[in-house]
């Protein structure tokens, strides 16, 4: 019965947080859209995503094609000698909402994960090193998650960045072990940002 919907179910299933059953429900809802209005709206939004939305060429945050580098990178009021390194662009927004940080960002676009086939070569580490040197960064805050893979990524980054003579800190108090930045509230993130510590 669902065979005609299989391509769209597979596509939705590849998105984070959407399993097979949820993908089936979404596909069925779209298939039952008699007017086609929802399908047209979704199609237009996806086309806009493909043509008008991109990741900032400097920090990796989501921006428009017309605003690259993004406003986080070009705002002269932000502290330019401090970089907050996150795993994904989605981690930037909750840190911004905490109001505890006014520097610049750098998204790695992942973390070391041998199980998922993600190696250091696939992360934006070389770009990070270049930015530290070119932008004369004084401090790098490692605002990564607190799971095993993120901890391995922190250890790798510490080793890679130490020769660059930059202060390396990591979020401390507040971020629960096994949790992610995107799931923390503003108060928790503010406490974590204030309580960051130097990595020896």
Q: What is the pLDDT of residue 192?
A: 76
Domains and CATH numbers, the chain: 3-53 (1.10.8.420), 75-198 (3.40.1360.10)
| Confidence category of residue 179, pLDDT binned at 50, 70, 90 | confident
Q: What are phi and psi of 140, to 5 degrees?
A: -115, 120
31-70 b/e (C-beta count within 10 Å ≥ 16 → b)? eeeeeeeeeeeeeeeeeeeeeeebbbebbbbebeeeeeeb
Confidence (pTM): 0.78
Q: What is the pLDDT of residue 175?
A: 64
Average pLDDT over residues 50-56: 93
| Per-residue pLDDT at 199 exceeds 80 | no
Average pLDDT over residues 126-133: 96
Give the C-alpha separation, 92 to 102, whole Å: 11
Average pLDDT over residues 4-21: 92
| Per-residue pLDDT at 195 exceeds 90 | no
Q: What is the pLDDT of residue 4?
A: 86
Task: State the chain's mean pLDDT as an integer.
Answer: 89
Average pLDDT over residues 49-72: 94
Give the C-alpha separation, 178 to 159, whole Å: 23
- Contact of 84 with 101, CB cutoff 8 Å: yes
Q: What is the pLDDT of residue 118?
A: 76
Q: What is the pLDDT of residue 200?
A: 66
Tokens at 46, concatenated: 């996806």
At 134-166, the pLDDT tens digits run 999 999 999 998 788 988 999 999 999 999 999
């Amino acid at each position: 019965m669902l065979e005609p919907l299989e391509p769209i179910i597979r596509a939705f299933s590849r998105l984070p947080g959407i399993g097979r059953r949820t993908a089936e429900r979404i596909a069925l809802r779209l298939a039952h859209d008699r007017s086609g209005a929802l399908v047209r709206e979704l199609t237009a939004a996806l086309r806009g995503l493909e043509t008008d939305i991109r990741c900032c060429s400097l920090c990796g945050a989501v921006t428009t094609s017309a605003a690259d580098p993004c406003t986080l990178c070009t705002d002269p009021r932000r502290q330019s000698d401090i970089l907050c390194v996150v795993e994904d662009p989605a981690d930037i927004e909750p840190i911004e909402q905490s109001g505890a940080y006014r520097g610049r960002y750098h998204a790695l676009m992942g973390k070391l994960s041998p199980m998922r086939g993600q190696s250091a070569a696939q992360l934006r580490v070389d770009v990070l090193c270049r930015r530290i040197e070119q932008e004369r960064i004084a401090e790098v805050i490692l605002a990564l998650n607190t799971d095993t893979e993120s901890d391995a990524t922190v250890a790798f980054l510490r080793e890679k960045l130490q020769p660059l003579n930059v202060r390396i800190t990591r979020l401390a108090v507040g971020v629960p072990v096994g949790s992610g930045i995107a799931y923390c509230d503003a108060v928790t993130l503010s406490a974590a940002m204030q309580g960051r510590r130097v990595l020896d």
